[in-house]
Structure 1
Amino acid sequence: MAPPTPTAKDPEKNSDCIVQDAAPVVTTTCTSTNPMTTISIPPEPQPQEEEEEPYTIFSRHLKLFIILMSATSSLFSPVSSMIYLPALDVLADYYHVSITRINLSVTTYMILQALAPMFFGDMADQLGRRPIYITTLTIYVAANIGLATQSDYGALLVLRALQSSGSSGTVALGNAVMADIAAPAERSGYISYVQAGMMLGPAIAPTIGGVLTQFLGWRALFWFLTIASGTYLVLYIPFVPETCRKIVENGSIPPQDWNRSIWNARFDRKIKVSEGAEHESHENLRKARKNELAGKRSLAIPNPLRTLRVIAEKDVALTMLLTSLLTTGFYMLMVPIPSVFADVYGFNQIQIGLCYLPMSAGSVLGTIAAGKLLDWNFRRIAHLENHPVHLRRGHDLRHFPIERARLQYLPLPTLISSLVILVWGWTLSSHTSLAAPLVLLFIGGACIPAAMNMQQALLIDMYPQSPATVTAAVNLCRCALSAGGTAIVQVVVDGVGLGWCYTIVGGVVGVVGGIAVWAGIKFGPRWREERFVREETRQREKERERGEGDSNEG
């Protein structure tokens, strides 16, 4: 027997009404002296969750284009540094100076390579990526034209410094752009493409430099760089949009009028031709946000102290130290190749340049593989921690174990890198067959950049609001330690020999790497939270001082 159906009284008609819930309406059937009637009552509207805006509105094809342009720009600094090396002897003869004096142009380049991003990185985080990209690349193109046409040693030194300032300024921007357009769950894969460009440059540049110097002369080096950078600039200015989140948020807020690309103009035109109250409301919101951001935009005075403050943070210092040691080891692998390979194997400049290609292939494969691994591990740990993963929206990483997500697999490539550096010296001193050093170059080229990519992703996650500044800080440490390492490597080799020199370097990388990973995972979250608390306290003090100032003015 079916259970009785609940009834309700209709006070007006004094009848029994059966209320049945049926989506999407509630149907009330009333029985009285009148014929049966059915009254449909609409359900109460249910509150709908407000749809969150995507992390970026850029289409997949536009993001691919931005990635390609950012990875290409990261080539200019390392290529400009390494393409120059095969021509040192030729330039010394041309200017009638010693090798020591011509090496000053290399030293000058490396000093500016470390310092310039400190200024440009801070400006890019405040004014936007496009203005700094255009400024630095214009300096770079002008310096290359000057280098290709000058005939004075003093001019060579000055123009090399300008060339370094322009090219190294782009180093701080590539990773920052990836942080602009990629949410943390997929950011490492994006960063890996920029890192691959940075690692690819030192490997292919000597080959290009050797061919151009031997067949076209040393001036062809700078004309080659002029054509490459000029072509890049011609493509960049009209087509690449502004991505800095402080300027355009997720791309939906238009940048400054003078900072618009063709994409910005097309996007604004689509908004304007849209019809309906919803589009009008959206456009009003965009205008309000634009005005709010415009009030915060001002011509920024570069402040290198921001970069130095980043380096002083405990949760950053160890990571930067390991990254700098790995970079030093990477360059120390390449330093003896021209002289040793010429002496042992009798190679000319072109053959020596070809020997860098295994490292080039390893660098590309290692960085891309590391990026994919980090993205997978991020999602895995997020699942274990019940942390929502949004590929189209941002994440609150304050209470997320980002150190574990980025550093968990770092020990393996770090250990292999230290072993490769250690074995490298004994392989060269033993004059083995060519296969041994080439295999080591491939393995080292894969593992060293992979380890560096893992740490770079962590550093950007630590400073998501200032990715260009933290990248400039990393660049400063890497360049400073690499310059010191490459400067003393020959002295150490002369003192203890190739084998023991690289044994010392490999041992230091392995020990420091182990300590850095352990300390980062164990103490990193606490150090990061302390930094958040300090920053919040500083912001509250600024707001209180601003409020007191407004009260006094009133």
Structure 2
Amino acid sequence: MADADEKDEHNNANDDNDSDAKPQDPENPSPEAPKPVYSVFSPGMKRFLVVTTVFGTFFSPFSSSIYFPAITPIANEYGRPVSDINLSVTTYQIMQALAPLFFGDLSDQIGRRPVYLLSFAIYLGANIGLAVQHSYPALMVLRAMQSTGSSATVAIGNAVMADFATSADRGGFIAAVQASVMFAPALATTLGGILSQFLGWRSTFWCLVIMTGVFLAVYLPAVPETARNIVGNGSIPPPKSHTSLYTHFRQRKLRRQLADDPEALAEALPPPKKLPLKIPIPNIWAAVVIIFEKDVGPLMLFMSLFVMANYAVMVPIQDVIRRQYNFNDLQVGLCFIPFSVGSVVRSIVMGKALNWNYARVAKSIGVSPDRKRGDDLRNFPIERARLDLLWPSTFLAVGMIVGWGWVVTAGTSLAAPLVVLFFAGLALAGPVSVLTTLLVDLYPMNPGRVSSTFNLTRATFSAVGTAVVQYMIEAWGYGYTYLFMGLIVLAASPSVLVVRKWGPKWREERYQRFAKKQQEAEST
């Protein structure tokens, strides 16, 4: 099992398109064959995939945030303190860390469509249960199930972008996914406040049921399978179990057009890959060990602490705003908008910046980015192309985290905390987009696996931050609590410089290690 994992990692350690040299068999490229395009999907289909992936990714952060305005009403109905209900947020985050380890790797092995459908089936059932349950234990269990179903969508969403986007364009596409993750809290908390205020907190879960139905009504018939392990660059037909109505009619049209030319038909529609009869067991350990790679581990530690500190700002907002300004559920929900608007703006800008900086670095080393066929990243300074964009957001984030604590302590007018939240949103979105893109660059053939690893670290740290932040506030006050959070982020930031300098060397060492393991496996 370990040797197989090493061989798998070797195949994806350095090249955007090393698996696509021959449409009929992407895993065994022919040295004589010309390098084909990275993806055969049309520009229109790529845009459609971005839209549906963004909508699918939307559910995980949306489900988390729509719940915030309802925390106090739920606590009142169940006769429990707010800290008890906050534990359901922690439970949600724990499953956000664990579930993608299973679903992300599974989607790399058996395809995106079946894993999407499985995760949304779990999510739909959990939302129905949450809408009708009447006990605190049921709330905790069903929130865990809700997170299990929805949290896989972020890891799979990043993987779908890697399925059809080369490294030169990948930053913009992944930033679009991250923009949906950042925008979701604004809409969710506002809508959650409206629903909780006028229809009761249970209506928030019925809203999620309806949204899930709308998404599945679009996804089931229209979205094709994209996993490169199943369809290569899109030229290999998927198995029948993975075939959407769109793909079915497209294949039928090709068969009708090429009925008189069997050779052309065989080339246009080669036999689909045979999937194993048994569903493979996702290799969770293979995802976990990515954390211990010398170039990946420090980045994940820094970003997990970064996200934890920002999430520690978000979770107590509803209670702070409610008490200090005597707001109702709707007004509390509206106060989340500045943070999310800042996040969306920064995600859009960062997407363009990532593509621009990639092209700039490529030009500086005499390389012209190949947006159709992809670039060989083994000798490309991808760490420099991505990480140089991290610093403005990092320093802004530290300032806003520290500033938030003292603004809340001062009890200023509402304008001050809302301005701080807007700039905190600006600061958070940039580094998340940068690191997510870089991780996919480092593991292009296992994007689901590496994205799930990132989810594991950042959700685990966020869960810890959510669990302890209220106790820290009660012991230290807001000012010193968020001063401490800001200093944690600042102390961890030199790890980025370490990876920028030595990352290419460590990446090459990993490539050689995997190559050696592969040779040993082939010789036995």
TM-score calculated relative to the size of structure 1: 0.85
Q: Which residues of 2 match residues 7-406 of structure 1 at below 5 A? A: 52-275=35-258, 280-285=262-267, 290=271, 293-294=273-274, 299-406=279-386
Q: What per-residue deviation string (whole Å, max 9, x for no partner) do you get for residues 311-340 of structure 1?
A: 111111111112112211221221232222
Distance, in Å, in 1 between the alignment partners of 2:231 and 2:144 is: 33
- What secondary structure sits across from 1:208 in the alignment? helix
Q: What letter corresponds to residue 309 of structure 2 in structure 1?
A: G
Residue deviations 1:180-236 (CA, integer Å, cap 9, x gap): 111110000000111111122233322221211111112211110000011101210
Change (3 A) 1:379 1:213: same
Q: 1:62: Cα distance to partner?
A: 1.2
Secondary structure of the structure 2 residue equivalent to 1:170: helix
Q: Which has the larger radius of gyration?
A: 1
Change (3 A) 1:138 1:93: same
CA distance in 1, matches of 2:430, 2:86: 31
Cα shift at 1:538: 1.8
How much has 1:130 moved relative to structure 2?
0.5
Separation (CA, whole Å) in 1 of partners of 2:237 and 2:143 = 37
SS in 2 for 1:75: helix
Partner of 2:21: none
- C-alpha distance in structure 2 between counterparts of 1:308 and 1:359, whole Å: 31
The change in CA–CA distance for 1:346 and 1:96 in structure 2 (over 3 A counts) is: closer
d(CA) in 1 for partners of 2:86 and 2:471? 16
| Aligned-pair CA distance for 1:510 | 2.2
Q: CA deviation at 1:353?
A: 1.2
Q: 1:355 to 1:95 in 2, by over 3 A?
A: closer
Classify 1:99/1:494 alpha carbon distance in 2 versus 1 (closer, same or farther; 3 Å): closer
Bigger Cα displacement from structure 2, 500-509 vs 450-459: 500-509
- CA separation in 1, counterparts of 2:66 and 2:125? 18
Q: Once the two structures are superposed, what CA deviation does each residue of 1:93-140 show, in whole Å capped at 9, x if it has no partner?
A: 434445454444333222212111110011000000000001101111
Corresponding residue for residue 45 of structure 1: none
Q: Which residue identity lines up with residue 59 of structure 1 in the other structure? A: S
Q: Structure 2: how far apart are the matches of 1:287 and 1:62?
A: 19
> Which whole-Å CA distance do the structure 2 matches of 1:421 and 1:243 have between them?
39
Separation in 2 of the partners of 1:319 and 1:282? 48
Deviations 1:410-467 (Å, cap 9, x if unpaired)? 1111111111111111111112232222111111111211111111111110100100
Q: Is the 8 A contact 1:127 1:297 kept in 2?
A: no
| C-alpha contact 1:127 1:298 (8 A) present in aligned 2 | no
Structure 1 residue runs of 5 or longer lacking an equivalent are: 1-48, 546-554
Distance 1:485 1:148, change over 3 A: same
Q: Which amino acid aligns with 1:283?
A: L
More strand by share: 1
RCO higher in structure (CA 8 A, sep ≥6): 2
Alignment check: 8 A CA contact 1:139 1:162 kept: yes
Q: Which runs of 5+ in 2 are unaligned?
A: 1-31
1:491 to 441, 453, 471: 471
**Conservation of the 8 A alpha-carbon contact between 2:90 and 2:467:** no
What residue in structure 2 maps to residue 538 of structure 1? Answer: 517
Q: How far apart are residue 148 of structure 1 and its match? A: 1.5
**Are 1:56 and 1:392, in contact at CA under 8 Å, matched by a contact in 2?**
yes
Change (3 A) 1:297 1:532: farther
Query: 2:108 is matched by which residue type in structure 1?
Result: D
CA deviations on 1:52-71 (whole Å, 9 max, x unpaired) are: 32211111121111111111
Shift of 1:161: 1.8
Amino acid paired to 2:439: L
**Cα distance change on mapping 1:157 and 1:343 into 2, 3 Å:** closer
Amino acid in the other structure paired with 1:188: G
The question of whether the paired residues in 2 share the 8 Å contact of 1:411 and 1:517 is answered with no
Classify 1:102/1:504 alpha carbon distance in 2 versus 1 (closer, same or farther; 3 Å): closer
State the alpha-carbon separation in 2 of the partners of residues 431 and 107 from structure 1. 28
Residue pair 1:326, 1:452 contacting (<8 A) in 2 also: no
Q: Deviations over 1:41-91 (max 9, x none)?
A: xxxxxxxx9653221111112111111111111121112122222223333
Match for residue 439 of structure 1 among 397, 419, 433: 419
* TM-score normalized by the length of structure 2: 0.90
Counterpart for residue 8 of structure 1: none
Amino acid at match of 2:263: S
Offset of residue 541 of structure 1? 2.1
Query: How far apart, CA to CA, are the structure 2 residues paired with 1:219 and 1:296?
Result: 42
Letter in 1 for 2:222: F
Whichever residue aligns with residue 382 of structure 2, its letter is I
Number of corresponding residues: 493
The share of aligned pairs that are identical, in percent, is 45
> What SS does the aligned partner of 1:294 have?
coil
User: Aligned-residue CA RMSD in angstroms?
Assistant: 2.0
Q: How far off its partner does 1:286 sit?
A: 5.4
CA distance in 2, matches of 1:460, 1:275: 37
